[in-house]
């Protein structure tokens, strides 16, 4: 089983997240992709993040009907600060037969050496790095000293191409707070839930 892990805050999920996941699923021939909402992202400590239940609900609305996509509660149920190395180790223990791929953008690849136990992360999972059209190509030399030449080559071969979408969760939250349209930025079910419940309004 080729399993993609896509971690993030997803506050809220939008079409950029979904296109990234689908591009990785198709080009890396993944059998499944798990969206992994963080309980407390280490890079967002001190910043307001919507409660996990809301973010999970919106994710489930967004991926409904896609048989290869699912939402994992692993980090949320574990609680506390979410470290990728702990999550991957837990998944490997539960799914020892799975080949893990860690979905990320080129900017995340650059920052990976600063994460907790980056060598262990790269032992547990192959980075599936997304190259967005019009952006600089991923710099795999950023992790060259943390990974074997063989696994580095596999990572380079797992690079994923996707169109550029100028959508961000920050913009969606700001638009929702101002009562502006969210149409075509996120799936309709997510849009209607945000509107009906007045999410991000205050």
Domain ranges of the chain: 2-167
- SS3 call for 92: helix
pLDDT digits (tens, 9 = 90+) for 169-189: 999 999 999 999 999 999 999
Cβ(120)–Cβ(157) under 8 Å?
no
* CATH class of this structure's domain 2-167: alpha beta
Distance CA 14, CA 44 (A): 19
**Where residue 43 falls among pLDDT bands split at 50, 70, 90?**
low
Distance CA 138, CA 38 (A): 24
Paired residues of 40 in beta bridges:
81
Structure tokens at 186: 């996120």
Model-wide pTM > 0.85: yes
């Amino acid at each position: 089983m080729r399993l993609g892990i896509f971690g993030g805050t997803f506050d809220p999920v939008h079409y950029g997240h979904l296109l990234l996941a689908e591009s990785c699923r198709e080009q890396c021939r993944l059998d499944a992709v798990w969206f992994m909402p963080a309980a407390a992202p280490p890079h967002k400590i001190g910043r307001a993040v919507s409660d996990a239940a809301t973010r999970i609900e919106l994710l489930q609305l967004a991926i409904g009907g896609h048989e290869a996509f699912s939402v994992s509660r692993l980090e949320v149920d574990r609680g506390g600060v979410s470290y990728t190395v702990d999550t991957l180790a837990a998944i490997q223990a539960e799914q020892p037969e799975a080949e893990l791929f860690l979905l990320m953008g080129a900017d995340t690849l650059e920052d990976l050496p600063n994460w907790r136990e980056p060598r262990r992360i790269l032992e547990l999972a192959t980075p599936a790095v997304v190259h967005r059209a019009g952006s600089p190509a991923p710099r795999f030399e950023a992790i060259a000293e943390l990974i074997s030449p063989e696994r580095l080559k596999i990572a380079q071969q797992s690079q994923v191409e996707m169109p550029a979408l100028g959508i961000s969760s920050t913009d969606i939250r700001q638009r929702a707070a101002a009562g502006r349209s969210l149409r075509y930025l996120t799936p309709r079910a997510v849009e209607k839930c945000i509107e009906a419940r007045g999410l991000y309004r205050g």
